[in-house]
Structure 1
Amino acid sequence: MSNEDDIARVKRQEQELVLERFDEEVAFALGTSVRERALAEGLSLVVDIRTWDRQLFFSATAGTSADNAEWVRRKINTVRRFQRASYRMVLERGEQPFSPQSGADPADYVIAGGGFPIRVTGAGIVGALTISGLPGRKDHAVAVDAICDHLGRPRADYALPESAP
């Protein structure tokens, strides 16, 4: 797959992986599934699920640190401001920090995979499911897999190839 193919696949993920509703119960189900996967696979990661005004789920597994929570905060800001998966930003722009002219201070925004927009039918993007602790492409995949599982969609239909182009 080319970089353009990956961008098209992430756009498809963003458009089609839409929840009928999003509330505390859905956030808990999504977050719990990510945590259980992390424990089963021995993944060191942080998962944060939120609406724009409050955090609904947070969990950290062994091997993570406060740095992961900081990466999550910056990825969430990127998803909120640009209304797209933070990994799509990586594919479109590379992982270089935002320029000073962008107004997106690198202390508060980051171009790195793992932040995925939570889109609700009839409401649009209302929050983010964010992962930190793995390489960015894998952080993104864990988030997408969780939403696929929640929606009962086959992961393979939405997965990016294992390695970047």
Structure 2
Amino acid sequence: MTVQDDIALVKQQERELVLPQFDEDVAFALGSALRERALADSLGIVIDVRSWDRQMFFAATAGTSADNAEWVRRKINTVRRFHKASYRMVLERGEVPFSPQSGADPADFVIAGGGFPIRALNAGIIGCVTVSGLPGRQDHGVVVDMLCDHLGKSRDTYRLAAE
């Protein structure tokens, strides 16, 4: 697959992996599913599920550090500002820091995979699911797999090819 194919698939993920509703119970279900996957596969990741006004789920598995939580914070800011998956930013721009002219200070924003916008039916983007600890493409993939499972959609339809 080409980078353009990957961008098209990430856009499809963003359009179609839409939650029928989002509240504290859904946030807990999403975060718990990610944590269970991390434990089952021995993945060292930090997990954050939130609406824009508050954090609703947070977990860290073995092998992570405070740096991962900091990467999560910066990925969240990127998703919130640009309204797209942080991995799509990687595909579109490369993993280069934002320029000073962008107003997106690298201390607060990062171009790295793992932040995915939460879209709720008839509400648009209202928050995000973010993980950090794996290479960016894998961080993104873990989130997409979990959303597919939660929504009863085929992982194969939405999964990016392995690099």
SS at match of 1:148: helix
SS at match of 1:139: helix
Number of the residue aligned with 1:133: 133
CA drift at 1:90: 0.1
2-side partners of 1:142 and 1:26: how far apart?
17
Identity of aligned residues (%): 72
Number of the residue aligned with 2:116: 116
2-side partners of 1:104 and 1:16: how far apart?
28
What is the identity, as a one-letter code, of the residue corresponding to 2:65? S
Number of the residue aligned with 2:8: 8
Q: Deviation string for 1:71-119 (max 9, x for gaps)?
A: 0000000000000000000000000000000000000000000000000
Is residue 62 of structure 1 aligned with residue 65 of structure 2? Answer: no
Number of the residue aligned with 1:142: 142
1:1-165 paired onto structure 2 within 5 Å = 1-163=1-163
2-side partners of 1:64 and 1:162: how far apart?
23
- Segments of structure 2 that go 5 or more residues without pairing to the other structure are none
2-side partners of 1:78 and 1:28: how far apart?
23
**Superposition RMSD on alpha carbons, in Å?**
0.3
What is the identity, as a one-letter code, of the residue corresponding to 1:12? Q
What is the TM-score with the length of structure 2 in the denominator? 1.00
2-side partners of 1:2 and 1:149: how far apart?
26
CA drift at 1:62: 0.3
What is the identity, as a one-letter code, of the residue corresponding to 1:111? I
CA drift at 1:38: 0.4
SS at match of 2:105: coil
2-side partners of 1:153 and 1:78: how far apart?
26
- Segments of structure 1 that go 5 or more residues without pairing to the other structure are none
What is the identity, as a one-letter code, of the residue corresponding to 1:126? I
